[in-house]
């Protein structure tokens, strides 16, 4: 049987795919990915099966924990065992970084984007035209894996490559990391060029000591804050995204989250208007809950009284399985209409009868 | 609820606890005050920081709920509710979160692998409000120690408020909505932002950087001390285009700024106004990057350049910026300077304005409205406007000035500017009074304006012929106002403070109207006798018909000028009342119709009336649902439907403290409401320091039966006895009768049981107490009888849910002192003090009271005056209102009348107490105690409960 399914026999010893595996796309999308993967095309044809298996591993979510450091990327590949595969890239020299910085400073809009953590995917292309190749050539790469395969790259490194291509496409700034400078380090390098070497302003502490003052525990300094609150529905959908400007990347969050925004805003407005047991003036008066009188209700009370009169309001309520308060109110109303009368008991309660 | 505290716990939970009562008292307090918390929370024990020495901790038992259950309760606590400051702080934070959520000032972020919604605080005023809540917050609100040992450190207030608001908006936004059209990580993010599975770890290799990127994006507005600003300059003689330049502003003082070019050159440090800002160039670039994410053309400021510069815009480019982008940038925390013309300054903005005029005087059921175009206050005429429209430019030059022609604004205008439309009068009036119609300004035409001015300054009127008595100056003004409103057919509410003589003003008004359609006065059963007496006294020429009781006769309606009836009868015989066309319908104690869905409110609305009037002593404008009920009778339609009113006015004002809405509401109802306060400086000189009034009340059937039994029983025995025995019997009878008049329960010596609806006096007392509690006054209630005092204390406590102090001969000295102190000085102390003590003890100072109610009588003016003087001190700049409750056509009324007569004749005090009565012969005695025909009202006094 197994001979009929050769691919299956090869994977028989495999571990289960991890549930936090990262998935590579079927086809390289952006130019950086294409450029990266083209390095592998120059390899001898004997490596073809390794590359194919590596792609398969990457596309089935068998790689996890993709991790970048200066000049290095590695990941765990879950195959018949778990192997750590890594790729090293030759770092730029100081002279090369100088050229990068000089090129970037010619257009402050690019610098600004970099500081905000985004990068136009075309930028590496522009730099390449100026002779700065962010995407390494074959000779600038070394790879390593824990597996026993002597061929380079093994299928695990090939899987890592497939993932790297996609990851770099999604976040081109990682190219700088692979060339030796993280985004923060690159930022520092750029800032140094205009003389900004300080730290950002210190933020407030998250924790504070309890003041040595009894009153401050229960009372603020000047009583409760008097701030205006104005409940208004937003005029635009996803106003938060609009206000912040579109998020970087290839997703239109205004569209994606629009219905969620609408639902959330609606929930907020409904809650703001909702009535509940803690009505706004509860503390003022206890007598305010008054319901409209309902004609059916009147009949019910009269019927009940008919069968058990004379009776107290409690007895009527028990008969109807209704609240004493409501029943009493109805009885009092019926009394004003002359439909029922009452006599006072010596204990202060009243006996009700049909009038 | 003052001592119920709310503490924000880690893990998005709130703990409600009480420092004063650490045990099950907390649970009871929560169950009473915040029922929904009690229902959804559970008992929990926590260690919190304790007041006093640093390092102290306390174990606390309370009710813990998740934020989803805390929000509904916190949102419903009124802005003026009497709650602890920690509860108030979280209630405010909750409402701020609701506002931000409703305005969609919310963004997604990723924290520790979870997608969460957080508040977007890019706007200065939003940040400031977070700060204001944090600054005012007591430690109890965030007293969760960060560690178990050592010095107690708790979350910084701002951090706590921020985390609460973020948790609240996250909770509100996790609804079950389907994401919009999207794919890839957009779908994954949207899925993690709804429901209860917040984990967000994108699967695709391309999207591994997304969590970090989203987090960086959503926190990119966290501000330092500098703000990027955009300055737009209008074209000048030497420069045909608009110019946009960039600057860095001081975040706290926007008038301090530096040009971007200079800030860029400054590099590492920028000094402005003596303050040192680090990294200005970095702030500038990051700020710009965010700005062009919002409005891409701004990229041109630095694109392809090695230093920031300015950009030139043509008119249409400038308009694109002006008409939307600049607001969004301001929203995002940027400073935007525009030429004055475009800075919302009205005189250079063409606006559509609604012009509303009345065809008739008085106002009919409809008003006429037409639109006009104004530049500032000046109306632009049709041909000029047409010429401007021809240019099809949003910004253009008109009479040598730049003016803005906002297309959105112009969209309001109808095709034909001359077209007049009809508008329902209440809606039109509301628009004119508020000066706003769906965001457009509104002006009244000259005739309508004249009418409205009349209401503010009504023309003076004369005292009507046949009026017996004098009207104080402010009462004359009230009469003039009623007359003016009546002439215009506008309903109105006279809401003068208790004791200012609303009844007299209305009687004068009824008299001044003369004969014609009959008028109807609807009042509570307990005051119908009072009304008849007052009309007979002040306007004896008016024919009064009383239509109430079991044997009421509807023929009085045709024979009378004024019909008196009760709310109960009005409901019962509504068909009869609807059949008549009324001149005036006046509702006394109009808070009786405060429940708008009650039958009485509905019956009242169905009447056909020329002039509707309401009288009330409660501050109606502070109780919005009641205000609506009242106005829907007085000027139907003025405040819109109840649901709309609730949404547009009541909730914003009462729950959220929205001042703009409150002002609009006040402007709308002000012309229909006249309320003068006793301490109003324009009223005070007209008033005596002490106003005394007698409140005549009926007996209930039960009281009358007991009264008659007592009289029959004793009179029989008295007739057969002499001397000391007779004297004893007479005194005993008087005492018993006074007890019956007070309350049957007192005579019968009942323990417990219901008091409701069994005594006319008690019903009247309830009405008085309700009004004075509503207007936040304090009162003394005197009774001779300790038993009656305790009955009253219990009943008032149960009925009004307020603290009632009871001061009597048996109260220990120390307790007396603390009771008096609480009543006099404590703002949260009891507002009702029942005193049962002859002369009330010397030196007893109870001047916090503005009202004194004598529930029963001593028949000794000296004693009563002395009691009254507890509240009133010579030289005090305050008026005291004294009520004496008297059951009508019983011995109480007769003895009172005799004493008044004698006092008036001789100016002397009739013998002290009741002993002189024992000298009466049998017949005189029988006449004195006989029950008069009008003593009883065969109506249920509990009808106020409806």
Beta strands in B547-688 (DSSP E): 562-566, 581-587, 608-615, 673-674
CA B602/CA A28 separation, integer angstroms: 74
What residues are paired with B410 via a beta bridge? none
**B692-929: same fold as B458-684?**
yes
Dihedral sign, CA of B545, B548, B553, B554? positive
Domain assignment present for residue A228? The answer is: no
Of the candidates A63, A110, A107, A104, the one whose C-alpha atom is nearest the C-alpha of residue A87 is: A63
Which of A210, A244, A174, A103 lies closest to B118, judged by CA?
A: A244
Residues A187 and A303 in one domain: no
Confidence label for B521 from pLDDT (cuts 50, 70 and 90): very high
Which of A25, A272, A282 shows the shortest C-beta gap to B206?
A25
B878 pLDDT more than 90:
no
Binary contact (B120, A230; C-beta < 8 A): no
Q: For chain B, give the mean pLDDT.
A: 85
Spatial CB neighbours of A282, under 8 Å, sequence gap ≥ 6 = B33, B81
Question: Over the stretch B722-751, which tens digit does the pLDDT of each residue have?
Answer: 888 888 898 899 889 999 999 999 888 887
Closest Cα partner for B167 from B5, B7, B11? B11
Q: Does B327 touch chain A (CB under 8 A)?
A: no
Domain boundary among A193, A228, A260: A193
Residues of B with Cβ-Cβ distance to A292 under 8 angstroms:
597-599
Length of chain B: 946
* Nearest chain A CA: its distance from B395 CA (Å): 24
Q: Is the peptide bond before A153 cis (omega within 30 degrees of 0)?
A: yes
- Are A89 and A191 a contacting pair, CB within 8 Å? no
- CA dist B68 and B64 (Å) reads 12
Question: How many CA within 13 A on the CB side of residue B532?
Answer: 21
Domain of A100 in residue numbering reads as 8-193
φ/ψ of residue B57, rounded to 5: -125, 160
Question: Do the chains contact at B107 and A244, CB–CB below 8 Å?
Answer: yes
CB contact under 8 A, A22 and B208: yes
- CB interface of B with A, residues 388-427, below 8 Å: none
Task: Give one word for B3, left, alpha or beta, with left for phi > 0 and alpha for psi -120 to 50.
Answer: alpha
Q: B648 — contact with chain A (CB < 8 Å)?
A: no
Q: What is the mean pLDDT of residues B349-366?
A: 85
Q: Which of B227-231, B409-413, B508-512 has the lowest mean pLDDT?
A: B409-413
Nearest to B754 among A207, A291, A348 (CB): A348
Nearest residue of B to residue A344, measured between CA atoms: B702
Q: What is the distance between the alpha carbons of residues A142 and B85, in angstroms, rounded to a whole number? A: 64
Please judge whether B156 and A256 are an interchain contact, meaning their C-beta atoms are less than 8 angstroms apart.
no
Residue A333, in any domain of the structure: yes
Distance from CA of A2 to the nearest CA of B (A): 32
Q: At B923, is the pLDDT very low, low, confident or very high (cuts 50, 70, 90)?
A: confident
* Residue A181 belongs to a domain: yes
Does residue B213 have a pLDDT over 80?
A: yes
Q: Which phi and psi (to 5°) does residue B366 adopt?
A: -130, 155
Q: What is the pLDDT of residues B232-258, one digit of tens each?
A: 998 888 888 999 999 999 888 888 999
pLDDT score for B654: 84
Contacts of B137 in chain A (CB under 8 A): 220
C-alpha to C-alpha distances, B450 to A314, B453, B634, nearest whole angstrom: 60, 5, 21
Contact predicate A271/B108, CB 8 Å:
no
Contacts of B154 (CB under 8 A, 6+ apart): A207, A208, A209, A210, B49, B139, B142, B143, B144, B145, B146
Q: Please list the residues that pair with B61 across neighbouring strands.
A: B45
Gap from B220 CA to chain A (nearest CA, Å):
8
Chains A & B: contacts with CB separation below 8 Å: 474
Would you state the CATH architecture of domain B692-929? 3-Layer(aba) Sandwich (3.40)
CA B654/CA B95 separation, integer angstroms: 12
Q: What is residue B101's three-state secondary structure?
A: helix
Whether residue A229 is contained in a domain is answered as no
What number of helices (H) and strands (E) belong to chain B? 35, 35
Reading chain A (355 residues) residue by residue, the pLDDT tens digits are 334 444 433 444 578 888 888 998 888 778 888 888 888 887 888 888 888 999 999 999 999 999 899 999 999 999 988 999 999 999 999 999 999 999 999 889 999 988 887 787 778 888 888 888 988 988 899 999 998 888 888 999 999 999 999 999 888 889 999 999 988 889 889 888 888 876 655 567 888 888 777 777 888 877 788 888 988 888 889 999 988 888 877 789 999 999 999 999 999 999 998 887 776 444 333 222 222 334 456 677 777 777 787 887 777 877 776 666 667 767 777 776 667 777 766 665 677 877 6
Please report the ipTM that was assigned to this predicted complex.
0.75
Same domain, A17 and A134: yes
B249 at A interface, C-beta within 8 A:
no
Section B819-839 average pLDDT: 82
Residues of B in contact with A252 (CB under 8 A): 182, 186
- Interchain proximity A227–B132, CB inside 8 Å: yes
CA-closest candidate to residue B182, choices A255, A196, A83, A187: A255
Q: How many domains does chain A have?
A: 2
- The number of beta carbons lying within 10 Å of the beta carbon of residue B312 is 14
Interchain CB distance below 8 Å, A109 and B158 = no
- The answer to whether residue B84 neighbours chain A at the CB level (below 8 Å) is yes
Burial call B868-903: b when 16+ CB within 10 Å, e when fewer: bbbbbeeeeeebbbbbbbbbbbbbbbbbbeebeeee
Contact A348 B755 (CB under 8 A): yes
B896 pLDDT more than 90: no
Q: Which fold has domain B458-684?
A: Rossmann fold (3.40.50)
- Give CA angle at B840 (B837, B842), nearest 5°: 140
Q: Does B441 touch chain A (CB under 8 A)?
A: no
Cα separation, B555 vs B704, in Å, equals 27
CA A176 to chain B, closest CA, distance in angstroms equals 14
The answer to the question of residue A23 being in a domain is yes
CA distances (Å), origin B303, targets A129, B294, B298, B550: 19, 16, 9, 91
Q: Which of B186, B203, B281 sits opposite A253 (nearest CB)?
A: B186
Please indicate whether, in this complex, the C-beta atoms of A249 and B225 are within 8 angstroms of each other: no
Residue that is written with structure tokens 């984007």 in the block: A113
Domain boundary among the residues A156, A171, A193 is at A193
* Residue in B with minimal Cα distance to A21: B203
Q: Is B340 on the interface with A (CB under 8 A)?
A: no
Shared-domain flag, residues A301 and A175: no
> Is residue B945 pLDDT above 70, yes or no?
no
Asked which of A149, A166, A193 is the last residue of a domain, the reply is A193
The answer to the question of residue A167 being in a domain is: yes
Give the DSSP per-residue string, B877-946: SS-EEEEEEEETTSHHHHHHHHHHHHHHHHSS---STTGGGGGS-HHHHHHHHPPPTTSB--S-GGGGG-
What pLDDT shows up at residue B141?
A: 94
**pLDDT the model gives residue B873:** 60
With tokens 């012969």, the residue in question is B921
The domain that holds A299 is classified in CATH as 1.10.10.10
How far is the C-alpha of B142 from the C-alpha of B158, rounded, in Å? 10
Strand-pair partners of B154: A208
- Other C-beta atoms closer than 10 Å to the C-beta of A303 total 12
Q: Which is nearest to B472 in space by CA: B449, B496, B438, B443?
A: B496
Taking alpha carbons only, the member of B557, B554, B629, B624 closest to residue B590 is B629
User: Which parts of B14-66 fold into alpha helices (H)?
Assistant: 24-33, 35-40
Q: With CB atoms and an 8 Å threshold, state whether A278 touches B182.
A: no
Examine residue A252 and state whether it is found in any structural domain, yes or no.
no
Nearest to B290 among A116, A207, A338 (CB): A116
| CA–CA dist B371, B445 (Å, integer) | 12
User: Chain A within 8 Å of B877 (Cβ-Cβ)?
Assistant: no
B322: nearest Cα among B202, B411, B234, B197: B234
Residue B344's pLDDT is 62
Determine, yes or no, domain membership for A255. no
Please tell me which residue, B733 or B397, carries the higher pLDDT value: B733
pLDDT over 90 percentage in chain B: 33
* Long-range Cβ pairs for the range B70-73 (8 Å, 24+): B70/B6, B70/B13, B70/B14, B70/B37, B70/B94, B71/A271, B71/B97, B71/B98, B71/B168, B71/B171, B71/B172, B72/A271, B72/A274, B72/A276, B72/B36, B73/A276, B73/A278, B73/B34, B73/B36, B73/B37
Q: Is the pLDDT of residue B944 over 50?
A: no
Helix (H, G, I), strand (E, B) or coil at B30: helix
User: Looking at the partner chain, which of B156, B655, B940 has a beta carbon nearest the beta carbon of A205?
Assistant: B156
Domain boundaries in chain B? 4-188, 226-338, 346-454, 458-684, 692-929
Out of A238, A285, A345, the one facing B801 most closely (by C-beta) is A285
- Check whether B825 has a pLDDT greater than 50: yes
Instruction: Indicate whether B408 pLDDT > 90.
Output: no
The helix-helix angle for B446-456 and B473-488 (nearest 10°) equals 150
CB contact under 8 A, A217 and B92: no
């Amino acid at each position: 049987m197994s001979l009929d399914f050769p691919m299956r026999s090869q994977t028989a010893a495999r571990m289960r795919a991890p549930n936090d595996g990262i998935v590579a796309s079927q086809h390289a999308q952006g130019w950086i990915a294409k450029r990266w993967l083209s390095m592998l095309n120059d390899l001898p044809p004997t490596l073809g099966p390794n590359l194919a298996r590596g792609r398969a591993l990457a596309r089935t979510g068998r790689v996890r924990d993709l991790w970048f450091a200066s000049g290095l990327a590695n990941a765990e590949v879950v195959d018949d065992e778990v192997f750590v595969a890594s790729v090293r890239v030759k770092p730029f020299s100081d002279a090369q970084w100088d050229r990068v910085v000089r090129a970037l400073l010619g257009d402050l809009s690019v610098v600004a984007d970099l500081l905000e953590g985004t990068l136009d995917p075309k930028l590496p292309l522009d730099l390449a035209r100026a002779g700065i190749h962010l995407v390494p050539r074959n000779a600038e790469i070394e790879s390593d894996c824990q597996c026993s395969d002597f061929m380079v790259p093994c299928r695990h490194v090939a899987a890592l490559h497939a993932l790297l291509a996609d990851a770099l496409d999604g976040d081109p700034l990682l190219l700088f990391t692979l060339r030796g400078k993280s985004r923060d380090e690159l930022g520092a390098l750029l800032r140094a060029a205009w003389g900004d070497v300080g730290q950002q302003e210190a933020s407030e502490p998250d924790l504070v000591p309890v003041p040595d003052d009894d009153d401050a525990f229960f009372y603020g300094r000047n009583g409760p804050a008097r701030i205006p609150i104005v409940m208004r529905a937003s005029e635009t959908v996803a106003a938060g995204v609009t206000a912040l400007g579109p998020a970087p990347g290839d997703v239109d969050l205004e569209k994606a989250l629009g219905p969620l925004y609408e639902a959330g805003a609606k929930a907020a407005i409904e809650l703001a208007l909702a009535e509940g047991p803690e009505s706004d003036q509860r503390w003022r008066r206890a007598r305010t809950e008054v319901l409209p009188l309902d004609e059916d209700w009147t009949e019910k009370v009269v019927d009940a009284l008919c069968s058990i009169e004379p009776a107290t309001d409690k007895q009527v309520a028990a008969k109807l399985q209704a609240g004493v308060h409501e029943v009493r109110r109805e009885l009092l109303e019926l009394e004003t209409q002359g439909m029922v009368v009452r006599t006072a008991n010596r204990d202060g309660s009243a006996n009700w009868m049909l009038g | 609820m003052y001592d119920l505290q709310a503490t924000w716990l880690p893990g998005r939970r709130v703990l409600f606890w009480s420092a004063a009562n650490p045990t099950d008292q907390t649970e009871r307090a929560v169950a009473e005050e915040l029922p929904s918390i009690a229902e959804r929370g559970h008992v929990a024990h926590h260690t919190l920081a304790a007041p006093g020495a640093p390092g102290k901790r306390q174990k606390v038992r309370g009710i813990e709920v998740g934020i989803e259950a805390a929000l509904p309760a916190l949102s419903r606590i009124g802005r003026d509710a009497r709650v602890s400051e920690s509860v108030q702080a979280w209630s405010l934070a909750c409402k701020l979160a609701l506002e931000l959520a409703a305005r969609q000032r919310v963004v997604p972020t990723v924290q520790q692998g979870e997608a969460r919604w957080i508040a977007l605080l890019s706007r200065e005023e939003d940040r400031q409000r977070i700060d204001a809540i944090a600054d005012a917050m007591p430690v109890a609100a965030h007293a969760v120690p960060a560690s178990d040992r050592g010095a107690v450190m708790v979350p910084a207030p701002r951090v706590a408020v921020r985390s609460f608001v973020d948790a609240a908006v996250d909770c509100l936004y996790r609804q079950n909505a389907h994401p919009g059209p999207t794919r890839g990580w957009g779908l994954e993010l949207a899925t993690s932002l709804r429901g209860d599975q917040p984990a967000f770890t994108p699967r695709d290799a391309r999207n591994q950087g997304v969590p970090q990127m989203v987090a960086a994006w959503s926190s990119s507005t966290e501000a330092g001390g500098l703000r990027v600003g955009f300055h737009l300059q209008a074209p000048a003689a030497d420069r045909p285009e608009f110019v946009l330049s960039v600057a860095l502003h001081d975040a706290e003082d926007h008038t301090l700024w530096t040009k971007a070019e200079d800030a860029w050159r400054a590099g590492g440090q920028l000094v402005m106004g003596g303050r040192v800002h680090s990294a200005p160039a970095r702030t500038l670039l990051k700020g710009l990057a965010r700005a062009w994410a919002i409005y891409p053309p701004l990229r041109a400021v630095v694109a392809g350049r090695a230093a920031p510069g300015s950009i030139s815009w043509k008119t249409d480019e400038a308009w694109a910026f002006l008409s939307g982008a600049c607001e969004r940038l301001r929203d995002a925390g940027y400073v935007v300077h525009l030429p004055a013309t475009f800075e919302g300054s009205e005189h250079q903005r063409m606006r559509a304005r609604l012009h509303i005029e009345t065809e008739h005087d008085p106002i009919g059921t409809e008003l006429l409205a037409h639109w006009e175009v104004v530049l500032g206050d000046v109306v632009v005429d049709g041909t000029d406007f047409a010429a401007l429209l021809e240019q099809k430019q949003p910004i253009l030059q008109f009479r040598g000035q730049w003016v803005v022609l906002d297309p959105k604004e112009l969209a309001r205008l109808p095709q034909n500017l001359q077209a007049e439309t009809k508008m329902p009068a209440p809606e039109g009036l509301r628009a004119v009074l508020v000066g706003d119609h769906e965001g457009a300004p509104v002006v009244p035409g000259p005739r309508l304006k004249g009418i409205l001015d009349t209401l503010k300054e009504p023309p003076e009127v004369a005292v009507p012929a046949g009026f017996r008595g004098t009207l104080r100056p402010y009462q004359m003004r009230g009469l003039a106002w009623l007359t003016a409103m009546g002439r215009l057919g506008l309903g109105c509410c006279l809401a003068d403070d208790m004791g200012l003589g609303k009844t007299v003003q209305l009687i004068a008004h009824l008299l001044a109207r003369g004969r014609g359609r009959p008028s109807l006065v609807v009042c509570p059963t307990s005051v119908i006798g009072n009304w008849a007496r007052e009309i007979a006294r002040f306007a004896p020429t008016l024919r009064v018909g009383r239509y109430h009781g079991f044997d009421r006769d509807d023929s009085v309606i045709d024979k009378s000028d004024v019909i008196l009836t009760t709310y109960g009868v009005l409901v019962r015989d509504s068909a009869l009342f609807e059949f008549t066309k009324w001149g005036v319908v006046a509702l006394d104690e109009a808070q009786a119709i405060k429940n708008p869905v009650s039958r009485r409110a509905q019956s009242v609305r169905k009447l056909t009336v020329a002039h509707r009037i309401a009288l009330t002593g409660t501050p109606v404008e502070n109780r919005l649902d009641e205000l609506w009920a009242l106005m829907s009778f007085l000027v139907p339609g003025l405040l819109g439907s109840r649901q709309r009113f609730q949404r547009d006015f009541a909730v914003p004002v009462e729950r959220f403290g929205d001042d703009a809405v409150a002002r609009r509401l006040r402007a709308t109802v002000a012309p229909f409401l006249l309320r003068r306060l006793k301490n109003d400086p324009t009223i005070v000189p007209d008033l005596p320091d002490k106003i005394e009034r007698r409140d005549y009340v009926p007996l209930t059937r039960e009281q009358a039966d007991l009264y008659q039994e007592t009289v029959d029983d004793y009179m029989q025995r008295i007739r057969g006895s002499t001397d000391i025995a007779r004297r004893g019997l007479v005194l005993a009878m008087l005492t018993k009768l006074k007890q019956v008049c007070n309350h049957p329960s007192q005579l019968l010596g009942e323990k417990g049981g219901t008091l409701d609806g069994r005594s006319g006096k008690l019903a009247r007392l309830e009405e008085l107490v309700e009004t004075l509690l509503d207007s936040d006054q304090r009162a003394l209630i005197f009774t001779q009888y300790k038993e009656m005092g305790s009955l009253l204390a219990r009943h008032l406590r149960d009925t009004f849910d307020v603290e009632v102090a009871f001061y009597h001969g048996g109260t220990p000295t120390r307790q007396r002192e603390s009771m008096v102190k609480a009543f006099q000085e404590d703002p949260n102390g009891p507002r009702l003090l029942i005193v049962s003590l002859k002369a009330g003890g010397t030196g007893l100072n109870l001047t916090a009271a503005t009202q004194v109610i004598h529930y029963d009588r001593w028949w000794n003016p000296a004693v009563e005056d002395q009691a009254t003087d507890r509240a009133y001190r010579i030289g005090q700049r305050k008026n005291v209102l004294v009520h004496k409750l008297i059951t009508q056509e019983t011995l109480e009324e007769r003895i009172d009348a005799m004493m008044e007569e004698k006092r008036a004749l001789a100016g002397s005090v009739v013998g002290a107490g009741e002993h002189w009565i024992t000298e009466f012969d049998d017949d005189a005695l029988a006449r004195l105690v006989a029950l008069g025909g009008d003593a009883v009202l065969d109506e249920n006094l509990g009808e106020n409960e409806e």
